[in-house]
Structure formats: structure tokens, C-alpha cells
Amino acid sequence: MAERIANKLLLVGWDSADWQVINPLLEKGEMPFIGRIIEQGVMGNLASMEPIISPMLWTTIATGKRPDKHGILGFIEPDPDNRGVRPFASTSRRCKALWNIFSQSGLECQVTGWFAGHPAEPIRGACVSEMFQKASRRPGEEWPIAAGTVHPPELVAELGGLRVHPGEIESEMILPFVPRAAEVDQTKDHHLSTLARMLSESMSVHAAATWLMENRPWDFAAVYFDAVDHLSHAFMPFHPPRLQEVPEREFELYRHVVERTYRYHDMMLGRLMHLAGPDTHIMVISDHGFYSDHLRPRAIPNEPSGPTVCHRPFGIFCLAGPGVRKDERIYGAGILDIAPTILTLFGLPVGRDMDGKVLGQAFEHTPEIDRIDSWETRDGEAGMHPPEVRRDPMDAQEAVDQLVALGYLTPLDADKSKTVTLAKQEIEYNLAVTLLAGGNCREAIPLLEKLGNALPDRPRIRLLLAQSLQQAGRLADSRRIVEELIAKHADSAAAQLLLGTLLFAEGRNGAALRHLRLAERSNPCMPGLHCAIGGVYARRRMWRSALRAYARALDIDGDSPIALEGMARCQLATRQWQKAAESALRAVGLMHAYPAAHFTLGLALIRLNRFDRAIQALETCLVFNPRHMRALLWLGRIHLRVVKDSQKAGEYFSRAAELAPAPAHPTAASE
């Protein structure tokens, strides 16, 4: 059995937290507690995954599995009798979360407010679902705790009195966020009520979590806060620098809210750290970031989950505790890696059916990693609900209404059967996105074809189907769909971009460039567009033009791994070996599961005669793409000419030969 590193672990989740907002506050000394974790531990980006929908992502964090495995596929699902809809529930999850595994392993757990966590699970320890803090009654009215919100039930009386109602938020609590709150006409402007509600909910979560930490034994505690996300959606348009369309008066009223929301969360973190104690491992993460700069979207699409366009694909990760490296940055972390890393901290085996890796680079000494085929087949009481557990329909409706109010759901149709159908279609769409993001285009295609037939007027479905067909190598079928889309929506930058990439794949570089330029006219601020333009120029060996295109992409989004990898290839071609290595290293640091970037890094390191690291980069490329022939050939050459290991070289060359296309049989005419 692997050594247990952590005595206790506190996991704090801040939905949507982003280094782009945190770093300036750290420089001013205004977030001292997360600053202390960074100084005493490691930090880095945490790559999210498509679709960037929070209940899916937080369940991935808790399970180490993609949504197609864990089963949480959006915000709402049909209820068990198909007569209405409800938010995705803990009973919808198809696999064990960390707290189930820990319960099964004899560890005491506390879980507070986790997304898609209602009803509270009967784990070893205590569990408080996300319904705990939701105020469903007016001020002064009786506010009962919904059934199934707290486990064990005997804690209901104690915890219920800790909740804070939005009506209890007084002006003194608002003023640190909005100093000129008295100037707001609340009959017309409802921003202050949104702020009051989110403050009350985060206070309630914090109160429950701190009470449990002080009064109940625990080995693992997980606390989830969603206020950064909700208040960013409400107030990020007013965040500096002022957007041209934002009136000066509203900007001055609300310009401080986002930063002070972060500072407020840092204060709560300080209290949690104090209760956890100095020997406890502390991990702070977010499931994704939030655009706070020139990439802030000017409009929200009128479609399900439209507000997710505000979500940046990189969240935050920091970890401190005994055995963790100090004041270091780590690279290539993703949300799939959190569960395997936490299991390793407790000396427990990682399931081979988990999709992430252990973040070994975070530790002073590489930890021993045990493996198990799957925790799903391990016997023992895991604190999961039996199949017959149901959710109160009134509680479910109130939660759905709040998602509608936040903009994550469009208003539900009065026809419940139609609502159920739409919920099922959105689940299938999210599943298709998940499958495509995981490289499983063949399962995504029939789902999208079915959806496209049912909803022929939804361009996003047709566009995703075209992308799936492209990934499957069915370029002609993909191009036919894209051309149909452009015939109806000529100004669709996304469709023009995809057609350009398809023509590029067919070797029609001139035609590809024309359509990419049309896309640029419609939307010049898409990083992927300039990456595609760079790809066309690179194929033409017009390296300077390609470098300019990739540089333009990085001007728009400095965290674009695709632009960095393209730039690295151009730098290789122009004999800028060191710059190529640096660009490729940045790319894999942002997106670890990126075989092309590891291969480019390997080539740059070969040119720099750093062969040990080149071998490591090329081997990593093969982890993500075992059929990468050029990586196999280069590894064969290095082992033959540098390492002088002809046997190992022969193994690589043999693997490459197996991938080579068989020679065509001569025809009678050619004989």
C-alpha cells in the first residue's frame, strides 16, 4: 500500500475563480491567505473541459471521470417519472465521488454545498447539500430546511439556525462592495438584491462548513462556493477597464464588486485555514475561469447555457502541505487530475477507469501511486443513495426557477412534455460535446444526427456535427453541412472558420484562406481563426506570415495552447530552437493532453542537444497518441545514434513500421 502523505485535507472550490483577477490583488497584498498557500506550496492553471458547465465539471473534479462516465450532463434532467424536470441530483451520478471512496475506506468526511449534491449523501461524516443556503421564502416567513438537505438528520436543528437570509443582509454589508449603494434606485436596478442573495448564500455555506470543522471529526473536508461565478456574471461588465457600452455612472457604482468578491472569499479562506490547522493539506481550485479583459463577450447567446461563453477555459489550482514543493509553479494540471491526486495524498489507489493523472510534480518527492481497476467494483458501504430515493418536486422546482433567473436556463415551457423533451435534447447535446472533446467522434455523430433531424433550425448542432465528421475524417460530409450553414448564415464566423479548416485539410490553401478572411471580417477576435490562418501560411512555408498570425492569436488570448504550438513549429522552421522550445513548453503547460505540442517540444530539444528531455517529450506524445509515427521514428533515431541502444531503437522502428500503409498490390496492367 502506498504511503499516506496527508493527515487531513481541506478542498475549497471557488466556482469561476481566475488568476487574471487574483494576481493583481496578490501583488497589492489584498488576498493574503491564498497568497500564503502559494508561498508555502504550488500553484498553476487548471485546464477545464468542454462543455464548460459547472455541475458537469464539479462532478468530474469529485470523481476523476468525464461526464459520459459519471452521468451529470447539464443543469437539469427529466424527473424519474418524466412528468417534469429537476436539477441534476446526487442520485443521478453513476459512480463514486471522493467522499464515497473515503467513507468506504474508513475516513471521516465533510462535504458542504457541492454542486449536484442534493439530496445529501449518507456518507461517513457529514454532508450538506447545495439546497441548504437557498432561500425559498420571504423575510420573516418560516424557512424550513428541505428534506434530504443535511446528513445525518440530527444536525438539521443545529445547522438550520446558522443560515443567513438575503433579507438579513444590511447596508453595512453591501457598502464594502458598492460604496455608493445609496444612489441605486432599487425599483429599477436589481443588482443590489443579487449581491445580497449571493452574500447570504456564501455566508450560510461558510457557517455550516466552519461549524462542522469545529465540532465534528474529519479527515477530508470539501467546501464549494458559487458566489464568484454568479457575481461575475452580474458584475463583470462593470469591471475595469470600462467597456465602451457601459455607462460611466453604472461603471462607477459597480466597478469594485468583482475584486471585493474575491477579497471576501479570501477572508473566508483564512478562517477555514485557521480551523484546519498547520499540518493540514489545503487545496483551492476552480472548475474554470471567467473572462475579465478584452475577451469579455458583449452579448450572451440566446440558447441553453448561453452564459457559459463568459467562462475562460483555465481555472486555478494551488496546494500546500507537508511534502508539497514550496513557492513553485506547476504546469499541465486539469480538472480530471484532482481526484487521482487527492487519493494519492491519502495513500489510496487510483482507479484505472479514472481519466486523469496524479500531479506528481507538486511533491518534493515523487509519490508512490497504487492502482486499482475500479472503485466501482470495490465492496463496502460507500454512503451512496439507494435507487428509490426521490426528490421533493417543490424543492426541485424552486432550484430550476433560480437557474432560469441566473440565465443558465431559458424559461421553461408550460407544456411539461415539451420541457422534458427539450431537457433530454440538451443532455444529448452536452453528451456529444463531451464525447467530441474526449476524441470519441464516432459516438458523437449519431447523437448529433438525431438531434439535427429533430431540431433542424439549430446552427450549433449542425456545426458540432460538422466538427465531429471532420474529426472522423469524413471531410466531404462535413463540408456539405458547413456549406448548407453558410448558405443560410453567410455571416457566421464559426461556419466560415470551419469551412476554411476543411479546405485546408483538403490541401486547397488559397480557398481556405479566402474563407478564413471572410470569418475575420465577421469576428476578428477569435484566436482559433488566426491559428487557422497561421496554419495555411505555414503549409505554404510562409513562416513570417504564419508567425504574425499566431502572434495575433496570442495578442487576443495569451493562453492559447494551439497558437503557442503553431508558433513553436514556425520557430523550428526558422531555426529559432530555444524560442521554439519555450513556446512548446508553454503550450503543454496549458494543455497537457496535447500530443502535437509534446512532439514539437521534442524536436526543439533535439536541436538543442537535450536528448534526455527530448525522449521524455516524445514519450509523452505517445502517451496521448500511441500512433504518432514521427514520434516513434525520432525516438528510434535517438536511441540508435545517441543512446546507442539498438534493441530499443528497433522496437520503435518496428512500431512505426506497423503503422505504415501497406504497399499497393500491382495490377495486371502494371505488371
Confidence of residue 395 (pLDDT cuts 50, 70, 90): low
Confidence of residue 554 (pLDDT cuts 50, 70, 90): very high
> Under a CB-based contact definition with an 8 Å cutoff, are residues 306 and 409 in contact?
no
What average pLDDT does range 215-226 have in this prediction?
98
pTM, entire model: 0.89
The pLDDT, as a whole number, for residue 87 is 86
Print burial letters for 32-45: b (CB count within 10 Å at least 16), e (below 16).
ebbbbbbebbbbbb
515 class by beta-carbon count within 10 Å (0-12 exposed, 13-18 middle, 19+ buried): buried
pLDDT tens for 285-306 read: 999 999 999 899 988 888 888 8
Print burial letters for 599-622: b (CB count within 10 Å at least 16), e (below 16).
bbbbbbbbeeebbebbbebbebbb
End-to-end CA distance of the chain: give it in Å, rounded. 65
Distance CA 198, CA 203 (A): 8
Res. 234: pLDDT tops 90 = yes
The pLDDT, as a whole number, for residue 19 is 98
Residue in 428, 40, 32, 95 with CA at minimum distance from that of residue 263: 32
> Under a CB-based contact definition with an 8 Å cutoff, are residues 131 and 146 in contact?
yes
What crossing angle do the helices spanning 611-624 and 629-641 adopt, rounded to 10°? Answer: 150
Count CA within 13 A, CB hemisphere, residue 584: 27
pLDDT tens for 595-610 read: 999 999 999 999 999 9
> Under a CB-based contact definition with an 8 Å cutoff, are residues 549 and 540 in contact?
no
> Under a CB-based contact definition with an 8 Å cutoff, are residues 307 and 21 in contact?
no
What average pLDDT does range 31-38 have in this prediction?
98
Confidence of residue 414 (pLDDT cuts 50, 70, 90): low
Distance CA 291, CA 330 (A): 22
> Under a CB-based contact definition with an 8 Å cutoff, are residues 637 and 650 in contact?
no
Distance CA 320, CA 366 (A): 15
What average pLDDT does range 529-542 have in this prediction?
92
29: left (phi over 0), alpha (psi -120 to 50) or beta: left
pLDDT tens for 357-377 read: 999 999 999 999 999 999 999
For strands 9-14 and 371-372, give the pairing. Answer: unpaired
The pLDDT, as a whole number, for residue 671 is 29
Distance CA 163, CA 155 (A): 13
> Under a CB-based contact definition with an 8 Å cutoff, are residues 527 and 556 in contact?
yes
Distance CA 249, CA 253 (A): 6
Confidence of residue 406 (pLDDT cuts 50, 70, 90): low
What average pLDDT does range 451-456 have in this prediction?
92
> Under a CB-based contact definition with an 8 Å cutoff, are residues 636 and 603 in contact?
no
Q: Which amino acid is at 216?
A: R
Domains for the chain: give ranges and CATH numbers: 9-394 (3.40.720.10)
Unique residue bearing C-alpha cell 534493441: 647
DSSP line for 314-378: EEEEEEESTTB-SSEE--S-BGGGHHHHHHHHTTPPEETT--S---GGGBSSPPP--EES-GGG-
Which grid coordinates belong to 578?
Answer: 530555444
Secondary structure element (H or E) that encloses residue 104, with its range: helix 98-104
pLDDT tens for 100-139 read: 999 999 999 999 999 999 999 999 999 999 999 998 777 7
